[in-house]
Amino acid sequence: MVKVGLFVRLRAKTGKETEVGALLRSGLAIVQEEAGTPQWFALQFDGSTFGIFDAFPGEPERQAHLAGRLAAALMAKAGELLSEPPSIERVDVLASKT
């Protein structure tokens, strides 16, 4: 059962929307290797606004994800691809169905 999550909002620079989408799609392979990340979603809200929602059994798994390969890849490309720093919100999961 998941108890905590992350909601990350990403705003692509003009002309970098395709690259942000590709980065998020490629992230699936990385998080599939994380046993502590049972739920992960890459989202697109509009032409330039993207997001990630993921959920974890507890705080140790959330922290491991934040220190993991996908977070590192995202932060390495943030200056090049994003118009502003990622907005990362820690959330509590009240209910879920998977």
Range of the domain at 45: 4-92
In a domain, 83, yes or no: yes
Helix/strand/coil (H/E/C) assignment for every residue in the chain: CCCEEEEEEEEECCCCHHHHHHHHHHHHHHHCCCCCCCEEEEEECCCCEEEEEEEECCHHHHHHHHCCHHHHHHHHHHHHHECCCCEEEEEECCCCCC
The tens digit of pLDDT for each residue in 14-34 reads 999 999 999 999 999 999 999
What's the CATH number where 9 sits? 3.30.70.100
Give the pTM: 0.94
In a domain, 63, yes or no: yes
In a domain, 97, yes or no: no
Residue 94 pLDDT > 90 = yes
Number of compact structural domains in the chain: 1
In a domain, 98, yes or no: no
In a domain, 69, yes or no: yes
Mean pLDDT over residues 45-74, rounded? 97
- Answer yes or no: are the C-beta atoms of 20 and 12 closer than 8 Å: yes
